[in-house]
């Protein structure tokens, strides 16, 4: 059986190495070009994640009796914010839960909507709860809050956002909101409140 010479094997090995080198160089060039495209798009569009932000809130009514039943009325304004200067942003699947002592009072929703570029849209909610029975721990919390004249509520939830980078690339993220609201009682005004979903 004939044996290949060392020179023949070297030529075959060199051919393989050159092919691999050309492939790697082409791949590296493609990665560099893709990175340059991403950088160019970033500097042109300066993308920023749309987000939710707490606006104004007021506690209009708080009814509580010694049997442990609570009912309330609140006005809450939330802003959907789009700081992108070149593209609109869509918000959808918005669901927020209003809680008192881990008891859900209401769920706030919104139909899908679009926030124009570099703009914001207020979402106003007038929340009137049905009478809510409280357990002994929540009743103690209400008694303490009324004594301190400071009533705490929590607003938590999320919305899906989507916006475009250029004509082809679409970005979608969740905006998560988790805020504590404290109201002076009996006037119902809020303690200073700064809260957003991290935009």
Query: Mind listing the pLDDT tens digit for each residue in 135-176?
Result: 888 888 888 988 989 999 999 999 999 988 766 668 889 999
Proportion of the chain above pLDDT 90, given as a percent: 47
Query: Looking at the DSSP assignment, which residues form a beta bridge with residue 110?
Result: 94
Global confidence as pTM: 0.74
Return the half-sphere exposure (C-beta side, CA atoms, 13 A cut-off) of residue 8. 4
pLDDT tier at 106 (50, 70, 90 boundaries)?
very high
Contacts of 156 (CB under 8 A, 6+ apart): 96, 97, 99, 177, 178, 179
pLDDT at 12 over 60: no
| Percent of the chain residues past pLDDT 70, beyond the cut | 79
pLDDT at residue 29 in the model: 75
- The tokens of 39 are what? 């950088």
Residue 74 scores a pLDDT above 90: yes
> How far from chain centre, in Å, is Cα 53?
10
Q: Per-residue pLDDT averaged across 109-132, rounded?
A: 95
Tell me how far apart the alpha carbons of residues 62 and 134 are, in angstroms, rounded to a whole number: 14
50 to each of 81, 114, 120, 126, 168, how far by Cα in Å? 6, 11, 9, 24, 19
Indicate the SS3 state at residue 112. coil
Q: What is the mean pLDDT of the chain?
A: 84
């Amino acid at each position: 059986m004939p044996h290949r010479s060392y020179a023949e094997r070297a030529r075959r090995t060199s051919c393989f190495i050159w092919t691999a080198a050309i492939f790697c160089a082409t791949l590296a060039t493609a990665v560099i070009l893709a990175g340059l495209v991403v950088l160019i798009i970033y500097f042109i569009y300066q993308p920023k994640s749309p987000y939710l932000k707490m606006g104004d809130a007021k506690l209009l009514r708080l009814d509580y009796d010694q049997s442990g039943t609570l009912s309330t009325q609140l006005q809450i304004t939330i802003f959907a914010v789009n700081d992108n200067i070149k593209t609109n942003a869509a918000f959808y699947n918005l669901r927020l839960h209003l809680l008192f002592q881990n008891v859900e009072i209401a769920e706030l929703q919104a139909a899908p909507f679009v926030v124009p570029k570099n703009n914001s849209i207020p979402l106003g909610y007038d929340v009137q709860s049905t009478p809510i029975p409280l357990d002994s721990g929540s009743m103690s919390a209400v008694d303490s809050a009324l004594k301190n004249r400071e009533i705490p509520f929590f607003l938590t939830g999320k919305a899906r956002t989507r916006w475009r980078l250029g004509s082809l690339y679409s970005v979608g993220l969740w905006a998560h909101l988790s805020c504590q609201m404290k109201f002076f009682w009996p006037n119902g005004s809020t303690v200073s409140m700064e809260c957003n979903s991290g935009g």
